[in-house]
């Protein structure tokens, strides 16, 4: 079963988050990466029913998960339940843990991980072409990556959430910048899991890349 | 050691989002920015929200202006620092 990895990449926050996922998650996946202009509803509808795990990153609202340029990928009441049925789902987006995640579990998803409020972090805008090297962003996005990697190791979704929460706690403890620490604690407080905490997926192979990827050269919306 | 200016910002953000409170919080954020030890060349607060009244990316030096003019962003900052 393939993985569906849906990632927007058109502004600073999506560039930063997709950069981390490209660097640390995408190499472990089968080639169904809906990245940038492919991150739209139609490709998602085609691939999602075959997947056992959906990993999404984009802008969100309580009832909407967005794709490239704020196109709608998933909206409460407007998707086919077979797109989520029997899947483990992780959405890195604002507020999807309020309505969309519980709705997907109600429509048959094994579990859905999301956030109850805005997902916020401090990034260095000058590192937008090599976002994976941004240490300020890593304070928040690093734990997300660790949690997703636990899922891809074939571990339980509850363990993936626990790993993410532990990562936030460790980073908050060592962070000297008060604003960044507040962002870490804010995200920690808002991370949620709905559905079966024992749900797991087939383990994906671990791949360690010796070299970082080349810089991203796609243009961003100002 | 806690940054005193950040503590003042937290206090300022505890009030209801009246224009006066937003102005006070904006001033506190400006003072915090001045006291903040430099980290990163262009630090920017970003969020993955959709349909918000505030931008998804705000350079730290512009946060005081956004706090002052936008009650929704004031409330977000309040939730972040509480």
| pLDDT of the residue at A31 | 64
| pLDDT of the residue at A34 | 81
Point out the residues of chain A with pLDDT beneath 70.
1, 31-32, 209-212, 221-222
| pLDDT of the residue at A8 | 93
As a whole number, mean pLDDT of residues B62-71 equals 96
Q: How many CB contacts within 8 angstroms connect chain A with chain B? A: 103
A117 chain-B contacts, CB cut-off 8 A: 79
| pLDDT of the residue at A1 | 67
Locate A136 and state its tokens.
Answer: 């300020």
B32 chain-A contacts, CB cut-off 8 A: 178-179
| pLDDT of the residue at A211 | 65
Length reported for chain B: 82
Locate A168 and state its tokens.
Answer: 């936030």
Q: Is the pLDDT of residue B1 over 90?
A: no
Spell out the domain ranges in chain A: 3-195
Test the A interface: residue of B32, B46, B66, B82 with most A CBs within 10 Å:
B46
| pLDDT of the residue at B2 | 65
> What pLDDT band is residue B38 in, cutting at 50, 70 and 90?
low
Report the residue from B39, B50, B60 with minimal CB separation from A59.
B50
CATH architecture group of domain A3-195: 3-Layer(aba) Sandwich (3.40)
Residue B33 in 3-state DSSP?
A: helix
Q: Is the pLDDT of residue B78 over 70?
A: yes
A11 chain-B contacts, CB cut-off 8 A: 56-57
Report the residue from A13, A64, A127 with minimal CB separation from B46.
A13
A16 chain-B contacts, CB cut-off 8 A: 46
Beta-carbon separation of B43 and A123 below 8 A? yes
Residue B57 in 3-state DSSP?
A: strand
Q: Distances in Å between the alpha carbon of A143 and those of A53, A125, A138, A203, B61?
A: 19, 20, 8, 19, 27
Q: Is the pLDDT of residue B37 over 90?
A: no
Spell out the domain ranges in chain B: 4-81
| pLDDT of the residue at A88 | 97
User: ipTM above 0.90?
Assistant: yes
Measured in angstroms, the CA of B18 and the nearest CA of chain A are apart by 22
| pLDDT of the residue at B32 | 92
Q: Does B35 touch chain A (CB under 8 A)?
A: no
Test the A interface: residue of B25, B48, B75 with most A CBs within 10 Å:
B48
Beta-carbon separation of B48 and A93 below 8 A? yes
Beta-carbon separation of A95 and B41 below 8 A? no
């Amino acid at each position: 079963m393939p993985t569906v990895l849906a990632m927007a990449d058109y502004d600073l926050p999506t560039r930063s988050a997709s950069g981390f996922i490209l660097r640390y998650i995408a190499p472990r996946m089968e080639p169904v990466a809906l990245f940038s202009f492919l991150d739209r509803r139609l490709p998602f509808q085609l691939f999602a029913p075959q997947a056992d795990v959906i990993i999404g990153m984009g802008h969100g609202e309580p009832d909407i998960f967005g794709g490239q340029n704020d196109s709608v990928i998933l909206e409460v009441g407007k998707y086919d339940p077979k797109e989520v049925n029997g899947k483990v789902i992780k959405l890195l987006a604002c507020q999807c843990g309020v309505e969309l995640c519980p709705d997907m579990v109600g429509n048959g998803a094994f579990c859905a991980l999301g956030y109850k409020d805005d997902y916020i972090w401090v990034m260095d805008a000058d590192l937008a072409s090599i976002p994976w090297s941004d240490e300020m962003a890593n304070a928040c996005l690093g734990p997300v990556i660790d949690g997703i990697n636990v899922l891809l190791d074939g571990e339980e979704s509850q363990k993936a959430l626990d790993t993410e929460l532990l990562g936030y706690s460790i980073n908050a403890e060592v962070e000297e910048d008060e604003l960044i620490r507040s962002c870490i604690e804010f995200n920690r407080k808002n991370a949620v899991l709905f559905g079966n905490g024992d749900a797991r997926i087939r383990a994906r192979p671990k791949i360690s890349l010796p070299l970082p990827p080349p810089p991203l050269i796609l243009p961003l919306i100002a | 050691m806690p940054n005193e200016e950040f503590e003042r910002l937290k206090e300022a953000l505890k009030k209801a989002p009246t224009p006066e409170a937003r102005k006070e919080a904006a001033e506190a954020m400006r003072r915090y920015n001045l006291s903040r030890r430099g980290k990163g060349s262009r630090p920017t607060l970003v969020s993955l929200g959709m349909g918000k009244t505030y931008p998804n990316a705000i350079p730290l030096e512009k946060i005081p202006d956004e706090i002052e003019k936008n009650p929704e962003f004031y409330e977000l900052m309040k939730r972040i620092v509480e």
